[in-house]
Amino acid sequence: MGSSPDSVPILHALVPRDSDTGDWRANASSEDLILEGWSQGFLVGSLIIMAAITIANMRRRVLLHKLILLEQLMAMCHGTFCFMHFKGYGWYLSGTAALLYLSWIVHNLVAWMKMKPFFLDQRGMFKPRTGTWVRNIYLTSLALTVPVNVFQIFNNFRFFNNINTTLYPSVRPYEPLIRDPWWIFTCLMLFHVIRRCYSTSFVELIRKSPRFGILLAAIMFSISFTALDIVASIHNFIGSTDGINPWWKLSLVFKCLTDTIMLDDFKTELRKLGIIRIQKQEKRRNSAQ
């Protein structure tokens, strides 16, 4: 993506560059500004629409719906720093980044709440002991990421305020390890439950509910863009500043879409489709309780 020499002064006039603390644009090219402006506009616009859909469909006293909305609002805040320019602007960028890190934790909590009925309901898909073990491991391991996220928030602040510019690029490729394993586990578990415990196929599910097809597509797109984000963090092939790339934003949008397209837990959503569990497996689970 190129730009003519005449367009560069115009861009610089619209978005002034200087050496103020925390101004990543001081070293950004015109292509970086265009790409980051587009990707942040895409992020904010998409999340505004999702938040509106969530508000329109959420029910009172349903914690899951409120957490989905909270996740969207927190993530949305980090899609605005490209359009800010003032002294101490690095504080604003890092503050919205902190909300983004918190939204990852909320997203994984939402993923657990959507999967929980498969494990802990009286007529769940697994033995009670298995469900208890999965719950404890899932939530404990997720809680252990809180100190790491706090460290990364502090690290982000130091990087974008020009305090320490060496550590953040080194640890940036490992960020998916503190945000994605729990969500990916939830997706794999959903696939497993559909394949093993329900008398249906993915094609039949998509035929009965196009929303489920959108859910599957969003999962695939999110995982793909996460992989591209990791590659871009190791070898920044699309921008001059680490972390300034569209891939994590695209991944985030599709990840939030997986929560928005089906607000309720997966078991409830499958029940709405009128899918009947295999009688033999249901009797076996009930007799084991």
- What is the CATH number for 271? 1.20.1070
Q: Count CB atoms within 10 A of the CB of residue 72.
A: 26
Q: What is the distance between the alpha carbons of residues 229 and 231, in angstroms, rounded to a whole number?
A: 5
Whether 2 is covered by a domain: the verdict is no
Whole-number pLDDT of residue 144: 94
Nearest CA-CA partner of 241 in 67, 84, 26, 92: 26
CB 285 within 8 A of CB 124: yes
> Which stretches in the chain have pLDDT values below 70?
1-28, 85-88, 123-124, 197-200, 236-244, 273-289
Whole-number pLDDT of residue 286: 58
Whether 192 is covered by a domain: the verdict is yes
Q: What is the distance between the alpha carbons of residues 27 and 243, in angstroms, rounded to a whole number?
A: 13
Cα 246 to Cα 32, 108, 136, distances in angstroms: 10, 22, 35
Whether 102 is covered by a domain: the verdict is yes
Whole-number pLDDT of residue 89: 73
Whether 63 is covered by a domain: the verdict is yes
φ/ψ bin of 53: left (φ > 0), alpha (ψ from -120 to 50), beta (otherwise): alpha
Q: Which residues contact 139 (CB under 8 A, 6 or more apart)?
A: 112
Whether 134 is covered by a domain: the verdict is yes
CB burial of 88-123 (b: ≥16 within 10 Å; e: otherwise) equals: ebbebbbebbbebbbbbbbbbbbbbbbbbbbbeeee
CA angle, residues 38, 168, 140, in degrees to nearest 5: 95
CA angle, residues 232, 233, 239, in degrees to nearest 5: 60
Domain span at 195: 7-288
DSSP assignment of 179-244 equals: TSHHHHHHHHHHHHHHHHHBS--HHHHHHH-HHHHHHHHHHHHHHHHHHHHHHHHHS--S-SSTT-
For the chain, give the number of residues. Answer: 289
CB 235 within 8 A of CB 173: no
Whether 25 is covered by a domain: the verdict is yes
Whole-number pLDDT of residue 21: 44
Whole-number pLDDT of residue 104: 93
Whole-number pLDDT of residue 16: 40
Instruction: Provide the number of structural domains found in the chain.
Output: 1
Q: What is the pLDDT of residues 128-159, one digit of tens each?
A: 888 899 999 999 999 999 999 999 999 888 88
Whole-number pLDDT of residue 289: 57
Whole-number pLDDT of residue 61: 86
